[in-house]
């Protein structure tokens, strides 16, 4: 790994220029394999482990260069297409992801198909060389910025529900696609609902063969759980947004470096832990035995996630794997979020009942309390209910570990053998 970091340092010395546009810089970074180094070499990567890829991201950040384009394209779409797509699809889609040219969203969940994702009812019907899509998706992160969507839709209602699904790369900027924001109790609107009415997608945009979408979607979910787990994710991703909608591609790359933020995976959680320690000191409660114990619990869970990452790296180096490690990491992340929520509110006390939803109100609240970190704590507390749900609920993770890792009996049911059009549907 030292040789890789040395090569990266030399490359950064020769190539980083803050006067480049974001698009120009990401073109260099992506085509050199540094945007997504965990991807295989034939998919614009370097075949590194996730841990080593995190070190690459940290090195780019430490150098003072703009980080790789973030978002679901790099996290989910690129590794999925690299695993299931043709080389033509990799060159068509993954190249535009690693260079930041196109942003992606995930069109999976539906109002009646969340935890039971295979019960989705969005339909895609063949029309020559295209498919016509009708249906509704919900909880679509970043849909308002996306150029393309990872769409799973039903293409055969006569097959059992898991066997009649196809996975598409669907253009979001077309007639028949409507995106509506969903405002959360934090005051933000990170998620959207998406309505598709006679939207169209080309047949050559099917990823992983027709009616094989459930297997492809499971790969996406695996990458999602690994990316959300407590010991993974990019240590530093770009403050600039990829794609054509946000308008960042033509701006100066150096202007985003000062706003570059640490986020994702274990680095984010360890950073929050350090912030809570400093907050406890400033509030005079760091000597409280209960708070000290929970700060140590938070640190311990984050360290276990880091060690699990190292275990996985060593196992993969031997040609093996650790069954269920992504699901375990996802559960760990949920536990950390709940612990951060409860611990943060205990540290700031009654001030935890105050929260502002607009920039002007936040500034006024910070001025009134003299504690600008309180807003971070209250927003974290409001948001903490989401991670145990998105990316697969905690209950789903436990079911997967029980059935696929421990070999426990599956829940009884006939939905895997009955044609989807014969199954009862929710109203």
Which pair of tokens denotes residue 336?
């950390």
Long-range contacts of the stretch 32-39 (C-beta < 8 A, 24+): 34/8, 34/60, 34/68, 35/68, 35/69, 35/74, 35/98, 35/99, 35/100, 36/68, 36/74, 36/78, 36/79, 36/97, 36/98, 37/4, 38/79, 39/78, 39/79, 39/82, 39/94, 39/98
pLDDT of 412 reads 81
Tell me yes or no: is domain 2-102+246-256 CATH 1.10.540. Answer: yes
Architecture of the domain delimited by 104-213: Beta Barrel (2.40)
User: Which class in CATH covers the domain with range 264-392?
Assistant: mainly alpha
Pairing of β 191-202 and β 177-182:
antiparallel
Centre a 10 Å sphere on the Cβ of residue 247 and count the other Cβ atoms it contains.
Answer: 12
Tell me the domain boundaries of the chain: 2-102+246-256, 104-213, 264-392
pTM across the whole model: 0.83
The residues annotated as belonging to the active site are 224
Please report, in tens digits, the pLDDT of each residue of the chain (427 residues total). 789 999 999 999 999 999 999 999 999 999 999 999 999 999 999 999 888 898 999 999 999 999 999 899 999 999 999 999 999 999 999 999 999 999 999 999 999 888 889 999 999 999 999 999 999 999 999 999 999 999 999 999 999 999 999 999 999 999 999 999 998 888 888 899 999 999 999 999 999 999 999 999 999 999 988 877 644 443 345 689 999 999 999 999 999 996 554 443 344 445 688 899 999 999 999 999 999 999 999 999 989 988 998 898 899 889 899 999 989 999 999 999 999 999 999 999 999 999 998 888 989 999 998 888 999 899 999 999 988 988 888 998 999 999 999 999 987 877 878 898 888 876 5
Cα distance between residue 114 and residue 276, in whole Å = 33
């Amino acid at each position: 790994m030292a040789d890789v970091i040395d090569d990266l340092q030399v490359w950064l010395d020769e190539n980083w220029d803050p006067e480049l546009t974001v698009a120009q810089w990401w073109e260099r970074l992506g085509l050199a394999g540094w945007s997504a180094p965990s991807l295989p070499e034939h998919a614009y990567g370097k075949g590194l482990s996730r841990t080593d890829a995190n070190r690459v991201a940290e090195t780019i950040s430490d150098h003072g260069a703009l980080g790789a384009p973030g978002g679901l394209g790099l996290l989910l779409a690129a590794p999925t297409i690299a695993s299931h797509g043709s080389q033509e699809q990799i060159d068509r889609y993954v190249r535009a992801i690693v260079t930041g040219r196109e942003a992606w969203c995930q069109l999976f969940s539906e109002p009646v198909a969340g935890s039971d994702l295979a019960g989705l009812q969005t339909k895609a019907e063949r029309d020559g060389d295209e498919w016509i899509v009708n249906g509704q998706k919900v909880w679509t992160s970043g849909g308002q910025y996306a150029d393309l969507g990872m769409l799973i839709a039903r293409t055969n209602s006569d097959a059992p529900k898991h066997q009649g699904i196809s996975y598409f790369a669907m253009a979001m900027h077309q007639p028949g696609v409507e995106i509506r924001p969903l405002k959360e109790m934090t005051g933000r609107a990170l998620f959207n609902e998406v309505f598709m009415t006679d939207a169209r997608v080309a047949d050559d945009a099917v990823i992983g063969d027709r009616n094989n979408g459930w297997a492809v979607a499971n790969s996406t979910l695996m990458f999602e759980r690994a990316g959300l787990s407590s010991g993974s994710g990019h240590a530093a991703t770009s403050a600039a947004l990829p794609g054509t909608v946000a308008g960042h591609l033509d701006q100066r790359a150096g202007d985003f470096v000062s706003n570059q933020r640490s986020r994702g995976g274990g680095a984010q959680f360890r950073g929050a832990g350090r912030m809570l320690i400093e907050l406890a000191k400033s509030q005079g409660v760091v000597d409280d035995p209960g708070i000290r114990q929970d700060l140590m619990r938070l640190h311990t869970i984050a360290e276990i996630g880091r060690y699990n990452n190292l275990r996985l790296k060593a196992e993969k180096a031997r040609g093996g794997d650790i069954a269920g490690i992504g699901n375990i990491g996802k559960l760990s992340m949920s536990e950390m979020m709940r612990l951060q929520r409860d611990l943060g509110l205990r540290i700031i006390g009654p001030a935890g009942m105050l929260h502002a939803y607009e920039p002007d109100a936040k500034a006024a609240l910070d001025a009134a309390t003299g504690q600008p970190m309180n807003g971070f704590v209250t927003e974290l507390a409001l948001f903490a209910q989401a991670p145990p749900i998105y990316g697969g609920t905690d209950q789903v993770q436990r079911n997967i570990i029980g059935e696929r890792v421990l070999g426990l009996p599956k829940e009884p049911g006939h939905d895997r053998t009955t044609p989807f059009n014969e199954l009862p549907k929710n109203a």
